[in-house]
Amino acid sequence: MPNGPSRTELEAAYTHVERFAAGSDGSIAFLDEYGFVVIADALTSPEAEHALGLTWDYLEGLDTGIDRADPTTWTDDRWPVAVHGGIIPSQGIGQSEAQWFIRSVANVKRAFAAIWDDDDLLVSFDGMALWRPPHVEPSWLTNRGGSWLHIDQHPIARPGFHCVQGLVSLLPTSPSSGGNIVVPGSHRLFESIPDLYTERLGRIDPSIDHFRFPADDPALAETPPIMCHMEAGDMLLWDSRTIHCSSPGDNSDAVPDLIRAASLVCMMPKSRSNDKVIAKRRAAVANRTSTTNWSDRFINADRFPQVAAIDTSRYTLPPVPKLTPEQQALVG
């Protein structure tokens, strides 16, 4: 495992980590050791290109005037609501053809099935992360990673191993594009968090699976963060206990296109859920509702405060997806 530089502020070394085949023993061992793993070619290059085309079909289908060939039309009043500058959690994206295509690629499920040793899985109805080029509009620069290093699991309400999250990159990353930051091995700090942050945790609702760390947190002093290189079609998996975030590049290459495009996807065993949740999941497909990564529970992403605060009536939602039997099984 390569070492990155020490830092007093968030400085993540751009790192070409070892990449593993989906479902391989090596991928499972690496995930267990470091709390993350990069799966090589979860999507083939043609599949990643097709998924990116479907993503643009979704964006243009919102009927707000977005034109994939003209970045001047990607303005905030036309773009779907984004959080942290680039993550699109709602406006039907979780039920878009793009997302369902990606979830249905065999290698994506294979990677999760190996983690859980279970092939009967439920998929999240997550959104996507789409970074617009900040050289066109400086306000499109996404949040600096140091402001939101975090874990996605409550240390007291959900101790131990519960979830592995995923991100499929549809474009290759570079220092110019920015990427996903992880703190290798930080999932092993998880059990000590209640003792280190007793007062802060006491102020957080146990149902909130989000806890942030400052970049200069003493708990991180021993392990520098890294930014993982990814090829188009690669999938980054990380334990929800692993400290992570995304971070923008400077787009110094001045790419007149999306500088990053990624699908958020998570699968968990159906046995961890229940009939009530599955009924809500089935309704979510018909209602074109998006959710968070927790596929064993039902958390409606359309009710995020950032989404609920605006008038979304200007968006035309994608059509109700026509799912194959294999996709229906992932719903429950």
* Residue 50, domain CATH: 2.60.120.620
Kindly state the helix (H) or strand (E) to which residue 179 belongs, with its residue range. Answer: strand 178-182
pTM score: 0.93
Examine residue 1 and state whether it is found in any structural domain, yes or no: no
User: How many angstroms separate the CA atoms of 88 and 194, rounded?
Assistant: 31
pLDDT band at 313 (very low <50, low <70, confident <90, very high): confident
182, 285 Cβ separation under 8 angstroms: no
Read off the pLDDT of residues 106-134 as tens digits, 9 standing for 90 and up. 999 999 999 999 999 999 999 999 999 88
Q: Is residue 154 part of a domain?
A: yes
In a domain, 4, yes or no: no
Number of domains composing the chain: 1
Residue 255 lies in a domain: yes
Structure token digits, residue 22: 């989906």
Rounded mean pLDDT, 236-257: 83
The tens digit of pLDDT for each residue in 157-199 reads 999 999 999 999 999 999 888 889 999 999 999 999 999 888 8
Q: Which residue has the tokens 């409606």?
A: 300
Contact status, residue 42 vs residue 51, Cβ threshold 8 Å:
no
Angle at 312 between CA 311 and CA 318, to 5 degrees: 170
Residue 202 scores a pLDDT above 80 = yes
Residue 58 lies in a domain: yes
Question: Is 56 inside a domain boundary?
Answer: yes
For the chain, report the end-to-end CA distance as a whole number of angstroms.
38
Question: With the CA atoms of 69, 70, 73 and 75 taken in that order, what torsion angle do they form, in degrees rounded to the nearest 10?
Answer: 100
Sign of CA dihedral 32, 278, 205, 90: positive
DSSP 8-state symbol, 174: B
Dihedral-angle region of residue 177 (phi above 0 means left; psi in -120 to 50 means alpha; beta otherwise): alpha
Pairwise CA distance, residues 232 & 271, whole Å: 32
Structure tokens at 148: 């939101």
Buried-exposed string 71-101: b where 16+ CB fall within 10 A, e elsewhere: beebbeebbbbbbbbbbbbbbbbbbbbbbbb
Task: Place 252 in a pLDDT band, splitting at 50, 70 and 90.
Answer: low
Q: Does 5 reside within a domain?
A: no
Judged on CB neighbours under 10 Å (0-12, 13-18, 19+), 38 is buried
The neighbouring-strand residues paired with 239 are 164
In which element (H, E) is residue 218 found? none
Which of 226, 212, 219, 208 is CA-nearest to residue 149?
Answer: 212
Q: What digits encode the pLDDT tens for the residues 49-96?
A: 999 999 999 999 999 999 999 999 999 999 998 887 688 999 999 999
Domain of 309 in residue numbering reads as: 19-331
Measured from the Cβ of residue 303, the count of other Cβ atoms closer than 10 Å reads 11
Mean pLDDT along residues 220-231: 89
